[in-house]
Amino acid sequence: MNLSKIRHDARELLKGNWGWAATMGLIFYVFFAGVGVITDAFDINSTSANLINLLITVLTIGIQLALYDLSLGKPKQGAWQGVTSALRGKMGRVGSTYYIAAIYNGLWALLLIIPGVIKMCSYSQATLLMKDHIDRGETVTVNQAITESRQMMDGHKGEYFTLMLTMLGWFLLYLLVPLIILFLTAGSIWYNLGFIGAIWYYPYWRAVQVKYYEALKQEQVVVSQLADED
């Protein structure tokens, strides 16, 4: 699979929509950075912190689903409306898929780092697969979606890991500002505000993931057609 084309298609998806996508990134940044500052400043207890992290995770899933809806040609709404609309009627099953896949991945990672990375790649398509099933009115369990993701990623795990590595420069740039603030302020809680790069980086990475998923689906269609011809 041409990974350069995947990233190009992601930029094309965002072309003319960067303001909209950046607004979603800004929403994520406000919650992520603001919550980080508040948690560090007021020593928020673990229960409250976990609830806040849950909300942030919901936002991350919503941004990805909203970008997928955009790629599917669905009418674009306001940034916040796009996120909430993408989640409507799906959050329970899609969110459960995300968290169960993360738990499985974490259990594998307890063994060694490499098995954890392999399983992360294997389970990477589960949430979008679940969204597709819901949109088609199909009922599948979380484990079925995760198994389907694992099957879809057979022969593609190294490729997906390479795709993540191609985004490493963007990720390091995203980390640069908070690290500079942390260094200059000797551990100040305000380093959380340095994650402003999330406004651009996060929607772009999610768009890349969406386009990779669509390319995988198209490849499956081609393989199925060739099998039928044989």
pLDDT digits (tens, 9 = 90+) for 64-104: 898 999 888 888 788 788 888 888 888 888 989 999 999 99
Cα–Cα distance for residue pair 78/21, rounded to 1 Å: 10
Assigned token pair, 100 = 């169960």
Instruction: Categorize the per-residue pLDDT at 191 as very low, low, confident or very high, splitting at 50, 70 and 90.
Output: low
Q: What is the pLDDT of residues 128-160, one digit of tens each?
A: 999 999 999 998 999 999 999 999 999 999 999
pLDDT score of 230: 60
- Record the pTM: 0.84
Residue 187 Rama label (left phi>0; alpha psi -120 to 50; beta)? left
> pLDDT above 70 covers what percent of the chain?
84
Q: Please give the sequence-ordered ranges of beta strands (E in DSSP) within the chain, or none if there are none.
A: none
